[in-house]
Structure 1
Amino acid sequence: MATDPDVPEGYTTTVEAIGAVVHVRVRDATGEQAAAGQLAVLGEAAVVDRVVTAETHRRRGLGHFVMRTLAERAAAQGAVLGVLGATDAGRALYETLGWKKHATLAECIYRP
């Protein structure tokens, strides 16, 4: 587990690899999770997942920080392509970071 010195002021962060998955967590001064995300690198592709910023911590650069941290880790592992599924709300963040919409995904649920 590592701590990043570039975390936004008033927050602490941890970056932890559990198996092949890298987890980034940002916590506020009380220890509550403010933002998080994870990724796994498969060959040359990094799959980003579960990027979230708590509603009370939005518009403070935490999502950008999480994505930048994940991107740095992915590049260090040899990834040259990033893949993620985005909500409409999250897509705005990803587009400001240079991500491009490639296809529309359908949300499907199967309950046997």
Structure 2
Amino acid sequence: MTRVRVLDGAGATAAQGQMAFLGEEVVVDRVVTDGAHRRRGLGGFVMRTLADHALEAGAVLGILGATAAGRALYETLGWKKHATLAECVYRP
């Protein structure tokens, strides 16, 4: 598991994301930028940092599920939509 966290001047988390390796694939998850820090490039920084690390480690495929807002960011970074993600909830 690889995690990236960007802190603001007060030491609080401004943006973060993580990824897990599954062989030559990585799954990116929990990429978020705090509302007070949006539109400053932090989400892009987190994604580029994760992608750089994945490539250095030999990954050949990245997978993530995106919200509509997140999808716009990912597409500007070269990610392509492959399928629509269905939202499901299970409560036993």
Q: TM-score range by the shorter chain?
A: over 0.9
Matched residue, 1:44: 24
Instruction: Report the alpha carbon displacement of residue 76 of structure 1 after superposing the two structures with TM.
Output: 1.5
Q: Alpha-carbon deviations, 1:48-82, whole Å to 9, x = none?
A: 00000001100101000000000011111110111
Unaligned runs of 5+ residues in structure 1 are: 1-20
In 2, are the aligned partners of 1:41 and 1:77 still within 8 Å (CA)? no
Unaligned runs of 5+ residues in structure 2 are: none
Q: How do 1:61-80 residues align onto structure 2 when only pairs under 5 Å count? A: 61-80=41-60
- Paired residues in the alignment total 92
Match among 73, 77, 91 for residue 97 of structure 1: 77
Instruction: Give the structure-2-normalised TM-score.
Output: 0.97
The answer to whether 1:53 aligns with 2:33 is yes
Q: Whose RCO is larger (CA < 8 A, sep 6+)?
A: 2
Structure 1 stretches of 4+ moved >6 Å: none
Instruction: Report the alpha carbon displacement of residue 41 of structure 1 after superposing the two structures with TM.
Output: 1.4
CA RMSD between the two structures: 0.6
Tell me the distance in 2 between the aligned counterparts of 1:54 and 1:92.
17
